[in-house]
Amino acid sequence: APTHILIVPNHLIPTSNDIKASDEPALGRMMTVAAKLASEAGIAKDGYRLIMNCNQHGGQEVYHIHLHLVGGEPLGPMLSPRQ
């Protein structure tokens, strides 16, 4: 996508499975930052996608959770049908 921004909390959370109740403020902040950055990038009105992967089968490659903000063009379906 033309716009691809990573949003990373400033304390280590390896995977979504490691999230604790005490992490809720940081995760909520990630969402408000995503909305702000999407607006600043001019993609909020048309829409964007937020992606967070978890572990190997989920496609996680970096073991510090982060949110991908992608947009700027139609992204199509989230998943392709299995064949």
3-state SS string for 25-49: HHHHHHHHHHHHHHHHCCCCCCCEE
Angle (nearest 5°) at CA 34 between 18 and 43: 145
Catalytic one among 4, 57, 64, 66? 66
Is residue 66 part of the annotated active site? The answer reads yes
User: Any idea which residues carry the catalytic annotation?
Assistant: 66
